[in-house]
Amino acid sequence: MSILSGKKVLLGITGGIAAYKSAILVRSLIKAGASVKVVMTESAKDFVTPLTLSTLSKHPVLSSFTNEEDENDVWNNHVDLGLWADLMVIAPATANTLSKMANGVCDSLLLATYLSAKCPVYVAPAMDLDMYKHPTTTNSLKKLQEYGNTVIPAAHGELASGLVGEGRMAEPDAIVDFIEEHLKAAAPLYGKKVLITAGPTYEPIDPVRFIGNHSSGKMGFELACKAAALGAEVVLVSGPTHLEIQNPGIKLIRISTAREMYEEVHRHYPDTQITIMAAAVADYRPAQVAGQKIKKKTASMNIPLEPTDDILASLGSVKKEQYLVGFALETQNELENAREKLRRKNLNAIVLNSLMDEGAGFGKPTNKITFISKDGTEKSFPLKSKAEVAGDIFNEILLRFDAKEN
């Protein structure tokens, strides 16, 4: 699977003859699993039509701030475009556009979008060899790299002028390969498999009723999204929740009971490198499940319970090279109980959160955690969104993952 799978790519096309290759580039990006939107300059339309690009990308192609054919239509928001993208690619990037980008000129939707983008930006220069070697172009490329942009080197070959030399835009497949390799170098978990559990389990009493808890699954889902963003192949085993995953880099397996979760986790665990057990698994289940709905007959009812499988302990007992992280939701003696759980279940780390902390726990958009590691370090974090907490957890894991103690 390509590291571009699930990425949102904004392709900027400027007015050079190499723009004819942009249609192939759209296809190549989509083939790699990316979602592509196109912004082009007005002059780029002389070389490739918006209809071709919109047909291939399955998105409208934008070139101006407003729809000149409909004065009542909404404006094309360059800020939203810039925020939508996981990465922006400008190919071809003409000498004119490179100069404008380097000097902050903003006279088109494409340039406004570039100046608004918060994502990594790649530029693929395309021009004649004398233009490519001219000091102004060299300075523009140098400036853009100093600003944090990445330049995809122009290729050597036959140019539109008939000359042969540098300045030819890299071929579409070469552009995709370059971006993939660049992203891999910045993705610390590329090539690694991460297993995460999320949500509650429902232990049936009868066909209608169950024993469960208030877990929403949000913390586990945010951890899965963060792992995928770091380049990992992710398996997310989730109990009943309304949450959905759109990232094709995340395999979502839905289960209901603790036993089902046990079986799925053990099926995937042997070939994972990092496992995070964020699910709130029921500790007990009814010893017998009624085949029919239990009718209300008396003022009280006793339901014999038996313990569910301790999934986390079972993983710790067979752990080899995996980095295993558990969660501890406590209401008293929090640190003492979390440390004991880490030791007893043979974990590499445990994430402690307390129901006594306002804004933390089940069903909340925020969480407040302490990361406790087997190496003896303990680090507490303030109340944050669960997405930010997921980032903090992975930062702590990555500090220790290569030198883990098993």
In this predicted model, what pLDDT tens digit does every residue of 158-197 receive, in sequence order? 878 777 888 899 999 999 999 999 998 888 998 899 999 9
Phi, psi of 73, rounded to the nearest 5 degrees = -75, 155
Average pLDDT over residues 377-389: 94
Angular region, 26: left φ>0, alpha ψ -120 to 50, beta rest? alpha
Amino acid identity of residue 104, one-letter, is G
Task: Please give the span between the terminal C-alpha atoms of the chain, in angstroms, as a whole number.
Answer: 30
* DSSP code of residue 162: S
**Sign of the dihedral through C-alpha 260, 262, 263, 268:** positive
Chain-centre distance for alpha carbon 216: 20
What pLDDT is attached to residue 67?
62
Q: Which range among 62-76, 205-219, 327-341, 374-388 shows the weakest confidence by mean pLDDT?
A: 62-76
pTM value is: 0.77
Angstrom distance (rounded) from CA 276 to CA 348:
10
In this predicted model, what pLDDT tens digit does every residue of 93-128 receive, in sequence order? 999 999 999 999 999 999 999 999 999 999 999 998
Average pLDDT across the chain, whole number: 91
- Count Cβ neighbours within 10 Å for each residue of 301-340 and write b for 16 or more, e otherwise: eeeeeeebbbbbeebbeebeebbbbbbbbbeeebeebbbe
CB 315 within 8 A of CB 325: no
Amino acid identity of residue 162, one-letter, is G
In this predicted model, what pLDDT tens digit does every residue of 188-208 receive, in sequence order? 998 899 999 999 999 999 999
- Fold match, 8-185 / 193-286+305-403: yes
CATH for 193-286+305-403 (3.40.50.10300, 3.40.50.300, 3.90.1150.200, 3.40.630.30): 3.40.50.10300
What pLDDT is attached to residue 49?
95
What pLDDT is attached to residue 164?
83
Give the residue carrying structure tokens 């919109």. Answer: 54
Domain spans, the chain: 8-185, 193-286+305-403
Please determine, for residue 138, whether its predicted confidence score (pLDDT) is greater than 80: yes
Please determine, for residue 406, whether its predicted confidence score (pLDDT) is greater than 60: no
Please determine, for residue 26, whether its predicted confidence score (pLDDT) is greater than 90: yes
Angstrom distance (rounded) from CA 246 to CA 244:
7
What pLDDT is attached to residue 78?
78
Crossing angle (nearest 10°) for helices 22-31 and 172-185: 40
299 band by pLDDT with thresholds 50, 70 and 90: confident
What pLDDT is attached to residue 241?
95
Angstrom distance (rounded) from CA 130 to CA 136:
11
Give the pair of three-digit tokens for residue 12: 């900027």
Angstrom distance (rounded) from CA 294 to CA 126:
74
Tell me which residue of 350, 337, 392, 394 sits closest to 367, measured CA to CA: 392
Q: Any idea which residues carry the catalytic annotation?
A: 213
CATH of domain 8-185: 3.40.50.1950
Annotate 200-249 with DSSP letters as a single string. B--EESSSS-EE-----SHHHHHHHHHHHHTT-EEEEEE-S-S-----TT
